[in-house]
Amino acid sequence: MDNARSFSPPGDEVTVNLHRVRDQAIVTVADNGPGIPPENLETVFERFYTSRPKGAAFGGNSGLGLSIARQIAEAHGGTLHAENRLGADDQVVGALFILTLPVAGG
């Protein structure tokens, strides 16, 4: 959520949703920022990868957060991946992170 906030325009909203589909909990985090270059949709989950918006303070991000989040998801039998949100004209209007986790007693 902090990444989404940092990439969104100042004062803009970050949308977080949680719902259940059969035996999985699905959490989505969406922002209205520049999105993720298509070639980096997997790279963002690598340790020490960081790419900050212009004007962001240097050194405030280790590039570990998304890597650790994915490892935690996978350790619990889930997944974490990123997509770009597209507008009506197929232009990128933000990023979307999708976390799925199995529901106990599913």
- Cα gap 39→25, rounded to integer Å: 28
pTM of the entire predicted model: 0.83
Query: What's the structural domain count of the chain?
Result: 1
Token pair for 76 = 């619990």
- The pLDDT tens digits for 10-53 are 889 999 999 999 999 999 999 999 999 999 999 988 887 667 55
Question: Domain of 8?
Answer: 2-102
Beta strand pairing status for 15-21 and 24-30?
Answer: antiparallel
Residues whose CB is less than 8 angstroms from the CB of residue 68 and which lie 6 or more positions away in sequence, other chains included: none
The gap from C-alpha 17 to its chain's centroid, in whole angstroms, comes to 12
DSSP bridge partners of 17: 28
pLDDT at residue 65 in the model = 82
